[in-house]
A and B are shown apart, each in its own frame.
Chain A
């Protein structure tokens, strides 16, 4: 399943999955549904999620850390922040170690993703997931669920990268020089947000939540139903 290939109607899809799923955690997840999708954006409970991986290919590479934090358009609650390290199946390359500032020993002592995947699902259940670049987070979690539960995990996503692309998009005849960068840090600078050290899953999740608040405040209509912006 690619990110493009998502259900037309999420509420129906969740209801169907809740019927079909065998694993209790996934069933709980689907039963919680996505009530926020039909509410105005301002009233929707959101959860910002970021994962760090050993590479870009969900079929070969592994998740090594997950960070998430609950928020809404007004506040990001650090008390809800969660952070997990996961021991990958394959060896960790030295490049990814430097990118993520995670050491070998930390990783070697970490549990497998499968041992806490239930907790991750419970933490995002009933909320709308916000990520920067849906093309990473969704397929990796999809693969992880398939491997662990033997059943698919899918959910609607608000993608700050996609939103930024549509905000900064100009037709080719108005373009001048390079397209604006859509990296998280570059997007944040357009909103006077501070610079953070990148590539730590929890801080990136916080960082993405801040960006979404800023985007919503400047460009989105808080009264529109959330489904208007999801992908």
Chain B
């Protein structure tokens, strides 16, 4: 009689790499060979120094991977597989695997892994690709062991949190802070975190306002503060603090506070605090000060990379810093030219809008004016304001846009109603050629001023674009214009060790094509997201692409992005100006092979785009 384990088979087939083997009868044979193991939290799946003879599939729970020196490499959850790298090395395991929660594991004996690995390309691709994403960790291991960012937040905590109940008065709270010598106090209700009180709050909200000291602390605390989870990486804490410009971040576990980390804690670990860059920017009183800070940007960038942040985090941090420069310059401009006579909104376009900036990006920006704009009355003001901002951004390391897509170009400094007309023109009468030059406008984020103007424009764009097939197909055609350098690679691989001086551009032939094709799907969906990773999540959820393909693109983007970032860091270290060109000769065999795989993914998705949004052309 047939053994009925279809439930287990079905579960495996929901996840890569088994999903692609769904129809292979041999998978049923494999299921009969699985061993199931329950691990209580803290127990080992692969203990230090132990051999490993299984591929593990996490059915429920969570597992953490550490390297020999105890550094946390990865956390894995339901549906993840692990153990492959030791199987590929004959069972020698260099990492340990331990249960972070009570977990149920399916153990697949090594011989099945070996067989599938050699028989099915999709299966071996899966492990090689995910290996590449972990490449950055491997590279970091070589460069430094001191990396702050791979440690979990709770490892930074030095003492239990100092807390007070939400109904104590200000005086009691201040006494606790003074006795405990802390600059922040966590406020709780039934042991759950409900607020935070800092030294600065006591200054600004109590003393300066002349508030009586018997007022309850929950009247003046910051309610529902931003928090970080005890298990998160410290780098996530850094980015939250940078993004929000706060200096005390409560650490919680199951909503209960377990401590606070302050900028001081992080800076102690790091010689130069990139955490402080944003608040430094806002402290500058003149352009000269901003220019000085901008000279440190190479260093901030290097720090982020060394900190083992992934490309999404780095893109996010660099964009927030870029936005901070723009905001501060606008504040200084309003100080110089007086407050704006009518509402306006300053727009970030392209990579800054998508929060995917790296070091050395041209500025791409524009400006929406309120419809009450009168050229005779307000024209000079906004011309001066935008010239001030753009020219000074150039001085701060954000070169003027060669395509003149900047707020200082009067064509891109127009009232909302005219913006709407312009977009309607682009979308309803699409001309591929013309669209090529303006695709950057479809990633648009309001960063300063009256952001409702940007929101109105964005929702106008979303509504028009979604239903306009001609536009989507023109955009799709454009997205396929820049192709990944596959031929180049093939030749390069053939040429082997031969001398080559040619380089290729990772941005225009890898990252931009991904951003372009993802934008088409996102606009077709009516997604409100701008970030490519976030758009891909929306796309995955909507099921626009075949199963797993959105995930593939995320991996490809991460991989290409990481090679670009490493390359830029090397350029900085060699004293060169960082750019997007990579010399394939400087890549390791490992990077080369996986870069090629990533480009293949991009190429396949470009192909898919053609079929998804067919057009006349």
Contact = CB atoms under 8 A, between A and B. Distances in A.
Nearest 8 A/B pairs, CB to CB: A76-B36, A213-B38, A192-B102, A194-B60, A217-B40, A75-B35, A78-B34, A203-B7
Contact of B38 (A78, A83, A214): A214
Contacts of B36: 71, 75-76, 78, 206, 209-210
B2 interface: yes
Contacts, number: 77
Nearest to B41: A192
A71 B35 CA distance: 9
Contact of B37 (A75, A192, A206, A218): A75
Given A75-B107, A78-B5, A192 B35 contact: no
A167 interface: no
Interface in B23-61: 31-40, 43, 59-61
Contact of B101 (A81, A192, A213, A218): A192
Contacts of B342: none
Nearest to B106: A78
A134 B32 CA distance: 27
B15 to A, nearest CB: 13
Contact of A217 (B1, B35, B38): B38
B214 interface: no
B70 to A, nearest CB: 25
B221 to A, nearest CB: 34
Interface of B: 1-5, 7-8, 11, 31-40, 43, 59-61, 78, 101-104, 107
Interface of A: 67, 71, 74-79, 81-85, 191-194, 196-197, 200, 202-203, 206, 209-210, 213-214, 217-218
B3 A202 contact: yes
Contacts of A203: 4-5, 7-8
Nearest to B109: A79
Contacts of B11: 194
A12 B59 CA distance: 42
Given A75-B107, A192-B61, A202 B4 contact: yes
A71 B36 CA distance: 9
A200 B6 CA distance: 10
Given A76-B36, A79-B33, 14 more contacts: A76-B35, A76-B37, A78-B5, A81-B32, A82-B3, A194-B11, A194-B104, A197-B7, A203-B7, A206-B5, A210-B36, A210-B38, A210-B104, A214-B40
B5 A191 contact: no
A85 B59 contact: no
Contacts of B78: 194
A124 B595 CA distance: 54
A81 B5 contact: yes
Contacts of B40: 214, 217-218
Given A194-B59, A202-B5, A79 B38 contact: no
Given A83-B2, A192-B101, A192-B103, A78 B7 contact: no
Contacts of A79: 32-33
B101 to A, nearest CB: 6
Nearest to B34: A78
Nearest to B107: A75
A74 B37 contact: yes
Given A75-B107, A193-B104, A83 B34 contact: no
Nearest to A213: B38
Contacts of B31: 78
Interface centre among B4, B11, B39 (most CB of A within 10 A): B4
Contacts of A213: 37-38
A215 B35 CA distance: 18
A132 to B, nearest CB: 15
Contacts of A217: 38-40, 43, 102
Contacts of A194: 11, 59-60, 78, 104
Nearest to A82: B3
Contacts of B33: 78-79
Contacts of B34: 78
Nearest to B103: A192
Nearest to B38: A213
B256 to A, nearest CB: 20
A197 B8 CA distance: 11
Contact of A78 (B32, B61, B103): B32
A198 B227 CA distance: 40
18 contacts: A67-B4, A75-B107, A78-B32, A78-B33, A81-B5, A82-B3, A83-B1, A83-B4, A192-B60, A192-B103, A194-B11, A194-B104, A197-B7, A200-B4, A210-B38, A213-B37, A214-B38, A214-B40
Contacts of A218: 40
Contact of A84 (B1, B61, B102): B1
B5 to A, nearest CB: 6
A45 to B, nearest CB: 15
Contacts of A191: 38, 102
